[in-house]
Chains A and B, each alone.
Chain A
Amino acid sequence: MTDQAYNFAYLDEQTKRMIRRAILKGVAVPGYQVPFASREMPMPYGWGTGGVQVTAACLTPEDTLKVIDQGADDTTNAVSIRKFFQRTAQVATTEATSEATVIQTRHRIPEAPLTKDQILVYQVPIPEPLRFLEPRETETRKMHSLEEYGLMHVKLYEDIARHGAIATSYAYPVKVEGRYVMDPSPIPKFDNPKLSNSPALQLFGAGREQRIYALPPFTHVVSLDFDDHPFEPSKAPHDCDLCGAGESYLDEVITDDQGGRMFVCSDTDFCRTRREEGHVGRLGEPQFSSKKIANSFEGICAPEEAAE
């Protein structure tokens, strides 16, 4: 079969129409999980089938797509989804956050501020924030509809009782516009403040669980907490070893078996941009702005060169 045998962006128009209706409903009721008829996609569940369907329904031929996985543009999940849309939709792709109009993401929100012309699409494994506390779907739906969210705080209570602090560090539950409690997908809680009042449209797609939910631009989003244990976004207490950034979310990379390690920005585009601007971290080398050189150094996966 040739590529022309596929409709634009893989899904047929009726499916995209159905997904767009779910998205519109999600935008109209921020934080509410809208059921939709999720399709089988040519990739396994858990690889972003929900996000891919939402992206497919949002894409137009003029769009520029960026796909990130844990902040990185060059990891398997990101590369395969980017290639998928290059082939089936022939859209332009980019690694620069500022140039993209649609960004599909897994587990991160880009460091660079988003704009009103961008759509951020999240891949969601388990959309129901109450799932691990209340296994019955009928019951969780009732709890959402009647706004009975005491149970969510039981989870946070348990964290403090066992660990002395709220130990939930990703998929940290939030309350949207004072109404629905929502799972922000497994982003680190460092990213939670960026959910609130974002100028970009944020869409969440869960393929296996068949749910879509959304945060329209400038939605008020609050992370749940206790009065005497307030919410704190956390990150490793270091600066990036390549670009020296002190305010970005960091990955820890083990460099040898002697206890050597380095901390690097998890957002590769943010890190590269900073290095091109001349910022240098503890283990970094000065970069010269030619994009080619930057690209060859790009991977955080090449720490030996950087360490020398």
Chain B
Amino acid sequence: MTQPLLSVRNLTKLYGPRIGCADVAFDLYPGEVLGIVGESGSGKSTLLSCLAGHQTPDTGKVIFETAQGPRDVLQMAEPDRRRLGRTDWAYVHQNPRDGLRMGVTAGGNVGERLMAVGARHYGDIRDKATDWLGRVEIAADRIDDRPRQFSGGMQQRLQIARNLVTGPRLVFMDEPTGGLDVSVQARLLDLLRGLVRDLGLSVIIVTHDLAVVRLLAHRLMVMKSGHVVEQGLTDQVLDDPQHGYTQLLVSSILQV
């Protein structure tokens, strides 16, 4: 039996008297994609930023299987956690402007993580950046353009390239398809699905778009008011919802 890559136990984050998320627990295995869905304000993003170390939860454990064995991320020293954040982990923001340096060329954006882990050979960095731009379907001659000159979909793909270049094992995604039109969404999802399968990534993806999780996620967690109300295999949850809120959520989708 393989060890889970990430196990979360009893994770609670309070904003004063209000609940951000409460008593969340799950295991994520290598190569698995976990979807987290729920309405706005249900605590999805709070949970994700607690997991990724951007916010400090009030109680709970987040145990990550590092190269040196399982460690509780929340007990780690900050330098170690930040090192983890630029090697084994990646975080794809909803808005590419939050995840990219808009004044730096595409090549520089992709190369930043390489240089942060010690790459000091310009030619190698550039080759690797070109390779990754190709993998996310950005033409190689755009390598010296800045993200400002890119369309929204290209910016999002650039952000994904920038995050995956150091070969992370765990990727956090916060609404990666938000703000994109449907055809661009479809291409991005196709790309993500390919990358996840080829690289064997584990992904935690937060979204309110059930179509996205249907395509990408193996397992699904449904959140409401900070609590996990239902979790299970994606198809099982979507096709046979048990909890009242999940039933409402599934029936709210417009059928074209």
Asked whether B120 is an interface residue with its Cβ less than 8 Å from the other chain, the reply is yes
Q: A226–B121 Cα gap in the complex (Å)?
A: 5
Given contacts A148-B82, A226-B122, A227-B121, contact A157 B116 (CB under 8 A): no
Q: Contact: A150 with B123, CB < 8 Å? A: no
Q: Which residues of the other chain, A, contact B121 by a CB distance below 8 angstroms?
A: 226-228
Residues of B107-164 whose CB lies within 8 A of A = 107-108, 111-118, 120-123, 125-126, 143-144
Contact of A161 among B101, B107, B114, B117 (CB under 8 A): B107
Main secondary structure of the interface of A (DSSP, over half): helix
CB distance from B134 to the nearest CB of A (A): 17
Asked whether B104 is an interface residue with its Cβ less than 8 Å from the other chain, the reply is yes
Asked whether B105 is an interface residue with its Cβ less than 8 Å from the other chain, the reply is yes
CB distance from A237 to the nearest CB of B (A): 24
Q: Contact: B111 with A157, CB < 8 Å? A: yes
Q: Contact: A226 with B120, CB < 8 Å? A: yes
Q: Contact: B111 with A154, CB < 8 Å? A: yes
Contact of A227 among B101, B113, B120, B126 (CB under 8 A): B120
Q: Which residues of the other chain, B, contact A150 by a CB distance below 8 angstroms?
A: 86, 112-118
Chain B contact-residue range equals 20 to 34
Chain A contact-residue range equals 10 to 19
* Chain B residue nearest to A227 in the complex (CB): B121
Given contacts A146-B79, A226-B120, contact A161 B108 (CB under 8 A): yes
Q: Contact: B120 with A158, CB < 8 Å? A: no
Q: Which residues of the other chain, B, contact A153 by a CB distance below 8 angstroms?
A: 115, 120
Q: A158–B147 Cα gap in the complex (Å)?
A: 13
Asked whether B240 is an interface residue with its Cβ less than 8 Å from the other chain, the reply is no
Could you give 6 example pairs across A and B, Cβ below 8 Å?
Answer: A151-B115, A153-B115, A154-B112, A157-B122, A226-B120, A226-B121
Known: A150-B113, A153-B115, A162-B105. 18 other contacts (CB 8 A): A146-B78, A146-B79, A150-B114, A150-B116, A150-B117, A150-B118, A153-B120, A154-B108, A154-B112, A157-B111, A157-B115, A158-B105, A158-B108, A160-B122, A161-B108, A226-B121, A226-B122, A228-B122
